[in-house]
Amino acid sequence: MAVFELKTEVLLDTAPALEDLLAEREEQRLMVLEDKPSGRAWLMGYFGSRAEAAAAWKDLAGALDAAWTKTEPVVRELPDEDWKNSYKAHFKAWKFDRLNWVPVWERETFVLPAGEEVLWLDPGMAFGTGNHETTRLCCERLTRFAAARGSSGRVIDVGCGSGILALSAAKLGFREIAAFDNDPEAIRVSEENAALNELAGRVEFYCGDLVSGLAGRAAELVLANIQADVLMRFVQELSAAVVPGGQLVLSGILGQELETVRAKFAGVAAGWRVESRVLGEWADLALTRPS
């Protein structure tokens, strides 16, 4: 399969802002690579065609500060081995509590500690392995919820991407898990990751927007790692999906957006217990509905 690399050099000190911009736009096809010893950084991504690479750049260019870039973007076709080795450089294993998230190419060398679980991930070209702070915040909330309450409840993953949250829930022992995304490619990648972990059929993956995806559904734990403006637009639907005593976890929130999102949900979720954590420039909200 042909793989095309899109690459442009950016100013190193703009890398954090550029990463935030990609996360805000839910742009998972592009990433920022930093080499601090040399003082250089690049915006790059991998695509199935030159046309896809050009379209991704066109989508981002309108929101990108031109002063951040040092060179014009270049698209080149990569030999298969170059593509594989490049992805290996960007994604590393990570863990929280007893759950490990590990790229599939480390399967032969990774040693799983006794009593722990592992979720193997293949990022593909469109979705990552959960290294971003927003995903980590959700994974940590999920793991804490399972440790505190057990895994007998239902879980809904709103905007599932690569399926990392839903599949993590399955690894933690949850049996009733629904996960949806409005991108059919996300569902395909999620199902591939499920098969990779021998979890095929454990999660109900389906395509839908936030309204249709939640229609007629409710759970003890609802996870929504999507941008803040979308969270606030669908505050009613998200809150209504949480059963009494259940928890709603919101991520994808920049630190400066936290109080605005908190206030928006306070208008609907009055009396709910609210907690928040900050990781880097990002924050989450965990809202627990009264029993």
* Tens-place pLDDT, residues 66-116: 788 888 889 988 776 565 566 666 677 888 888 999 988 888 899 999 999
Looking at the fold, whether 284 and 143 belong to one and the same domain comes out as: yes
Token pair listed for 200 = 């095929």
- Per-residue pLDDT, averaged over 217-234, amounts to 94
The answer to whether position 123 is within a domain reads no
Looking at the fold, whether 69 and 13 belong to one and the same domain comes out as: yes
Looking at the fold, whether 82 and 161 belong to one and the same domain comes out as: no
Looking at the fold, whether 150 and 249 belong to one and the same domain comes out as: yes
The answer to whether position 109 is within a domain reads no
- Residue (of 163, 175, 132, 170) closest to 282 by Cα position: 132
- Residue (of 65, 60, 54, 52) closest to 17 by Cα position: 65
Domain end among 59, 90, 121: 90
Looking at the fold, whether 168 and 262 belong to one and the same domain comes out as: yes
**For residue 15, what is the domain's CATH number?**
3.30.70.100
Domain range for 69 is 3-90
The answer to whether position 264 is within a domain reads yes
The answer to whether position 243 is within a domain reads yes
* pTM given for the model: 0.75
Domain end among 90, 105, 122: 90
Looking at the fold, whether 273 and 137 belong to one and the same domain comes out as: yes
The answer to whether position 115 is within a domain reads no
Q: Is the pLDDT of residue 129 over 50?
A: yes
13 C-beta neighbours (distance < 10 Å), count: 10
Report in angstroms the alpha-carbon separations of 178 from 102, 107, 172, 174: 23, 27, 15, 11
Looking at the fold, whether 169 and 252 belong to one and the same domain comes out as: yes
The answer to whether position 176 is within a domain reads yes
Looking at the fold, whether 145 and 271 belong to one and the same domain comes out as: yes
- Per-residue pLDDT, averaged over 282-290, amounts to 95
Looking at the fold, whether 143 and 220 belong to one and the same domain comes out as: yes
**For residue 179, what is the domain's CATH number?**
3.40.50.150
The answer to whether position 104 is within a domain reads no
The answer to whether position 219 is within a domain reads yes
Looking at the fold, whether 184 and 275 belong to one and the same domain comes out as: yes
Which range (52-66, 176-190, 251-265) has the least confidence?
Answer: 52-66
In the chain, how many domains are there?
A: 2
Cβ(219)–Cβ(243) below 8 Å: yes
Looking at the fold, whether 78 and 212 belong to one and the same domain comes out as: no
Token pair listed for 71 = 């060179």
CA atoms within 13 A on the CB side of 238: 30
pLDDT of residue 87: 60
